[in-house]
Amino acid sequence: MNTLPLLENDLEKSPFRQFARWFEEAKQRQPQFHEAMTVSTCGADGVVSSRMSLLKGFDEHGFVFYTNYNSRKGKQLSENARISLCFFWAALDRQVRVEGVAVKTTAEESDAYFASRPRGSQLGAWASSQSSVIAGRGDLDARFAELETSYRERQIPRPPHWGGYRVIPVEIEFWQGRADRLHDRFVYRLREPRDWVIERLSP
């Protein structure tokens, strides 16, 4: 349990700089999957869906992850761009919650990241029709083997149905665990572009 207080004077004025500071500390203390986050989406039917994904980059423009656009989350985001991210670093007893809207990254950004992926992951993006029902594992393995043969000694292009999303936040909450459940919580709320108000929340 982290017993050190999180005070207003400890916070950066920018939530992105505050996140960068905590993210680096998480990387040092919890190196395995420090970039893991829960991604929650909700389609037009109002059904909320959550899953774990990996953060692939962030800056003052937002938080970036990549996926199959035809996956359940991709389809939900095409109907409703509102999204929530949640990071939890047990080693630091800290959580960060992000709420905002998701927009697709540019084709150039998606191409560049796809080219940096291991070859097996590139083939997997083509082989898997993510979230769709399949008859069995054998079908997936056969499709992968077929693609492996087809692209032998050839560069693998990015599938048109695969790419990135940038989550543009309107609210970012920083939570630090304390004794007796009297946790420290601060939320940054966007009032207008680059104008963030910081408020302490009751635990």
Side chain identity at 73, as an amino acid letter? K
- Spatial contact of 81 and 168, defined as CB atoms under 8 Å apart: no
**Residue 45 tokens, joined:** 């039917």
**CATH T-level assignment (fold) for domain 8-116+160-201:** Pnp Oxidase; Chain A (2.30.110)
Q: What residues does 39 pair with on adjacent strands? A: 51, 85
* Helix, coil or strand: residue 103: strand
Listed by start position, the domains of the chain span 8-116+160-201
DSSP state of 129: -
Q: pLDDT per residue over 51-62, tens digit each?
A: 999 999 999 999
Q: pLDDT per residue over 8-37, tens digit each?
A: 999 999 999 999 999 999 999 999 999 999
Has 181 been annotated as catalytic? yes
Given 154, 181, 191, 194, the catalytic residue: 181
Query: Residues in the chain, how many?
Result: 203
Confidence of residue 3 (pLDDT cuts 50, 70, 90): low
